[in-house]
Structure 1
Amino acid sequence: MRSLTKNKWKKYLFLKNYGPLVPYLPETQRLSGHSFNALLQKYHNVIVKPVWGSRGRGVIQVSYLGHNRYAIHYENVRKVGRGRRNAYRYIRGKIGPAEYMIQRRIHRPTINNRPFDMRVIVQRKQYSSQWVVTAKVVKVAGKGYIVSNNSRSKGQLLKFSTGIRNSSIRHLPINALESQINGVSILTAKRLARFFPGHRIYGLDIATNQHGRVSIIEANLYPSMSHFYKLKDRTVYQRILAYKQGW
């Protein structure tokens, strides 16, 4: 059980096996030469990430530029080369034998030309079966980075409403967007609760595209609270703690 809590691939499969969540899960496969070719040919933009990774470590973005040219973005370094085979060989040289997965890349909206996604906390009180979204934070990638993890890319953390109103999706109705994110997040928590019945908190990484379509990037059973502690307004952080202690 403990190994499953950290295994992104197995959690993805468990979520994907639940019909109502399928529309919100970007296609993901175990990384191999075949899956790399297939997904890159299908989507032109993919994310390669470790099965056992955390905090944005080891995440690589690959983008097709046309004319057999591919951009590989790792940490804050972007390299352009020719040919899918060479791109895959380069990535394998970076990651070695580590277990990796490949995922359709979500074209995330931006704040000041930097992509962002969200960390959503879903909790239930100790003797309750009702799941509640207690916190959301917008995570903006640092300059030159693709990952939004604050400690890794030194990006920006914003309250949900502030982030959306200053983003490239400011034209979307914020209440409707928040309602959809909350609904998908609670649905995800209920599904995970089938496999982890005693668990009371989940941290979900949620992204939207430019049109507001919601996608689940991944689910964490032991989410870091540092995102919320770093916000100037500690109200959200205090709400998480109150639910942790709640009966």
Structure 2
Amino acid sequence: MKNQHATRNKWLKYKFMKTKRLLPYLPETRIMTRASFWNLLGKYRHILIKPIRGSRGKGIIQVSAIGNNQYGIHFENRRITIRGKENTYRYLKRKIKSSKYRTQSGYIVQRRIPRPTVNGRPFDIRAIVQRPKSFKSWVVTGKIAKIAGKGYIVSNISRSNGTVMPLEIAIKKSSLKKPSIKILISKVNKVAILTARRLESFFKGHRIYGLDIVLDQNGHVWIIEANLFPILSHFRKLKDKTMYRRIMAYKAGRKIK
């Protein structure tokens, strides 16, 4: 497969997805510098710092401007407040430098999309999109809600000790205001297919993507990240194994309902 260098590079995948059709679904993202950090924080008040080649939620830091020249830092399940811009940026640089998740590829800074919650815990969506070699069209073969563990910002199940739930049930139980589940699911499917079609032209021959998607409180769909080697065990955790069987069948080149 071509473009091996980009398979785990968040920045390269973001740049490639940043087209007219997908731009409305992409949170603003930049290479982290002092200027880009303060620009996005001033613009959105809540941002995420991520290792460019990180995975499984490792090394992600949330920064919030909370007023009175104070900034909230949320890493793993720990929170601190720092006063002053220079103190804040200096702390973050030290944090990154000393992190075991540090990468030579650097970091990105990204607008944080406020996520809906289930029982007070934020959740996002993992959508699996597949197209076996003998099929003409991409198909969303599975969608699941990943609910963050208590006190965590990342929804990676093993990292935050979180839980999984069928997406429809998560939406019903969520803080989303009077959601039309059918419409929301349709939006997720549409954006997932658009994303796979775009990535297909870059990652030639790749036939499965795991998309991390967020619904904001207004029900707008946001693509947070595209994974070329998604973990599929989340779907095995559900009581109903229909989606898991479908995903594995498609992976083997067979189509089942």
TM-score of the aligned structures, taking structure 2 as reference length = 0.93
Q: Percent identity?
A: 55
Deviation at 1:245, TM superposition (A): 1.1
Q: Alignment partner for residue 187 of structure 2, among 180, 187, 190? A: 180
Please list every run of at least 4 consecutive aligned residues from structure 1 whose deviation after the TM superposition is greater than 4 angstroms.
none
Deviations 1:188-228 (A, max 9, x none): 00000001120110000000111101100000011011211
Q: Alignment partner for residue 114 of structure 1, among 108, 116, 121? A: 121
Aligned partners of 2:232, 2:84: CA distance in 1, in Å? 41
Q: Are 1:138 and 1:163, in contact at CA under 8 Å, matched by a contact in 2? A: yes
Deviation at 1:129, TM superposition (A): 2.6
Aligned partners of 1:84, 1:67: CA distance in 2, in Å? 11
Tell me the equivalent position of 1:84.
85
Tell me the equivalent position of 2:6.
4
Aligned partners of 1:84, 1:184: CA distance in 2, in Å? 37
Q: Alignment partner for residue 219 of structure 1, among 217, 226, 233? A: 226
Is 1:201–2:208 an aligned residue pair?
yes
Aligned partners of 1:23, 1:130: CA distance in 2, in Å? 23
Tell me the equivalent position of 2:196.
189
CA RMSD of aligned residues (A): 1.0
Letter in 1 for 2:79: R
Q: Alignment partner for residue 161 of structure 1, among 165, 168, 175? A: 168
Letter in 1 for 2:225: E
Deviation at 1:128, TM superposition (A): 1.8
In structure 1, stretches of 5+ residues that fail to align are none
User: After the TM superposition, which of the residue ranges 217-226 and 124-133 deviates more from structure 2?
Assistant: 124-133
What are the within-5 Å matches in structure 2 for residues 1-247 of structure 1? 1-16=3-18, 18-96=19-97, 98=103, 99-169=106-176, 171-246=178-253
Q: Are 2:72 and 2:81, in contact at CA under 8 Å, matched by a contact in 1? A: yes
**Count of aligned pairs:** 246
Deviation at 1:86, TM superposition (A): 1.8
Deviation at 1:24, TM superposition (A): 0.3
Deviation at 1:170, TM superposition (A): 5.6
In structure 2, stretches of 5+ residues that fail to align are none
Aligned partners of 1:90, 1:231: CA distance in 2, in Å? 41
Q: Are 1:164 and 1:170, in contact at CA under 8 Å, matched by a contact in 2? A: no
Deviation at 1:84, TM superposition (A): 2.5
Q: Are 2:177 and 2:217, in contact at CA under 8 Å, matched by a contact in 1? A: no
